[in-house]
């Protein structure tokens, strides 16, 4: 037998930039990002979330004006791909095929750019499309939701559904850059603005007690979607996610531990059970509540800590009740999550606010009792008037 052991390392780096009105004449953020790409011409395929376009129909014209004014030699494809927002673009392969067709039609190469502007699902699907065209076209993500700006849009994962399973097909492919434009949040409705708080609460609970306290103190401002409070939350949440990717030693998840998926085993299943009608952030909020209840009943956190967690979730605007909880099969959901992780069950729980702990065993009757507790809650009044009145 003869064996050659191959070993090499590849360094990745990409900027995550926070700005406002990225396509305005005085904003040089995107120009600076593209300048990192080497010699011109810079060829760019714009990809736009249909929901964002409906709320902001002037966006394509602003992109064209920005490209025309740029000091760089830009070649903008004047045929933007419009992608249906939400889970449908991940469930239906239509837009992924359309992306690949446009890459072939315009002879785009691995040094060309896909400028993807949209919510987390659009970024996921189009990130997968970009990573699989020519084994990788440069991807610039411009997240248009608070959830995507602080979590889904800043990491290295891309994925779509297959055989009814969320994120069954996907890649680990770092983007060329992420540009978080706070002005894009102005087009969101209250439900989508609220959804972004879930991932911030999640990461604060498992990594940063001070961040949790700041969110708790700002809960009424966050419920009103106060811009300074929202922007501060987004930036700190993004910092913590990026810090984990950089320092965990496992950015491509070669092992089984995924501490940033606290609350996600239930969230993923709830999204499937509701056909995507439950937003990812809304499902994560419920998942956080379930795993916090379990942490309390397992004697890992204090009752006062649990009450603070549930109060924060509800007071920023989340319902912790949903009818789908009554059909959530705990054992099956955990089994599917174990498979998704890579074979060994690894669930993150709390051993105090700001401190997560990974476990490989769940007491099924105890976890079922936690799900049943939430399933028996009454739906809350989440009218805009009620939210503003808190």
Weakest mean pLDDT among 68-77, 282-291, 312-321: 68-77
Weakest mean pLDDT among 14-18, 144-148, 242-246, 267-271: 242-246
Question: Tokens 């000091």 correspond to what residue?
Answer: 71
The whole-chain average pLDDT of the chain stands at 90
Report, as an integer, the average pLDDT of 326-336: 92
pLDDT band, very low/low/confident/very high, at 386 (cuts 50, 70, 90): very low
Q: For residues 74 and 178, what is the distance between their CA atoms, to the nearest angstrom? A: 19
pLDDT band, very low/low/confident/very high, at 165 (cuts 50, 70, 90): confident
pTM of the model: 0.87
Report, as an integer, the average pLDDT of 269-279: 89
Write the pLDDT tens digit of every residue in 200-235.
Answer: 999 999 999 999 999 999 999 999 999 999 999 999
Share of the chain above pLDDT 70, in %: 93
Report, as an integer, the average pLDDT of 90-105: 96
By C-alpha distance, which of 272, 273, 305 is closest to 289? 305
Write the pLDDT tens digit of every residue in 23-52.
Answer: 998 999 999 999 998 877 889 999 999 999
Whether the pLDDT of residue 381 is over 70: the answer is no
Q: How many CB atoms lie within 10 A of CB 233?
A: 26
CB 284 within 8 A of CB 198: yes
* Domains, the chain, with CATH or none: 16-187 (3.40.50.1970), 191-237+252-378 (1.20.1090.10)
Share of the chain above pLDDT 90, in %: 75
pLDDT band, very low/low/confident/very high, at 389 (cuts 50, 70, 90): very low
């Amino acid at each position: 037998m003869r064996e050659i052991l191959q070993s090499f390392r590849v360094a990745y780096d990409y900027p995550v930039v926070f700005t406002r009105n990225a396509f305005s004449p005085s904003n040089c953020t995107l120009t600076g990002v593209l300048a990192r790409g080497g010699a011109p011409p810079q060829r760019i395929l714009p990809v736009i979330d249909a929901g964002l376009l409906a709320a902001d129909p002037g966006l394509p014209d602003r992109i064209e004006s920005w490209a025309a004014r740029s000091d760089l030699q830009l070649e903008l494809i004047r045929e933007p791909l419009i992608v249906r927002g939400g889970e449908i673009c991940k469930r239906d392969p239509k837009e992924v095929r359309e992306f690949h067709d446009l890459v072939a039609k315009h002879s785009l190469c691995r040094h060309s750019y896909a400028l993807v502007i949209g919510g987390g699902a659009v970024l996921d699907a189009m990130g997968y499309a970009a990573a699989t065209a020519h084994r990788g076209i440069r991807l610039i993500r411009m997240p248009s939701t608070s959830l995507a700006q602080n979590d889904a849009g800043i990491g290295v994962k891309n994925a779509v559904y297959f055989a009814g399973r969320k994120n069954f097909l996907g890649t680990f492919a770092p983007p060329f850059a992420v540009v978080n434009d706070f002005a894009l949040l102005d087009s969101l409705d209250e439900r989508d603005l609220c959804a972004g708080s879930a991932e911030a609460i999640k990461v604060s609970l498992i990594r940063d007690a001070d961040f949790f306290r700041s969110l708790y103190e700002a809960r009424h401002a966050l419920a009103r979607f106060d811009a300074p409070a929202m922007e501060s939350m987004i930036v700190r949440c993004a910092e913590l996610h990026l810090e984990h990717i950089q320092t965990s030693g496992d950015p491509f998840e070669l092992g089984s531990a995924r501490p940033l998926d606290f609350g996600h085993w239930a969230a993923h299943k709830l999204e499937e059970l509701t056909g995507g009608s439950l937003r990812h952030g809304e499902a994560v909020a419920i998942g956080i509540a379930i795993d916090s209840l379990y942490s309390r009943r397992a004697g890992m956190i204090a009752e006062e800590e649990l009450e603070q967690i549930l109060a924060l979730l509800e007071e920023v605007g989340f319902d912790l009740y949903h009818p789908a909880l009554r059909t959530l099969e705990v054992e099956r959901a955990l089994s599917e999550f174990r498979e998704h992780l890579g074979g060994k069950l690894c669930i993150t729980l709390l051993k105090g606010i700001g401190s997560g702990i990974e476990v490989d065993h769940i007491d099924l009757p105890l976890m079922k009792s936690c799900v049943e507790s939430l399933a028996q809650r009454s739906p809350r009044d989440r009218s805009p008037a009620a939210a503003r009145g808190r």
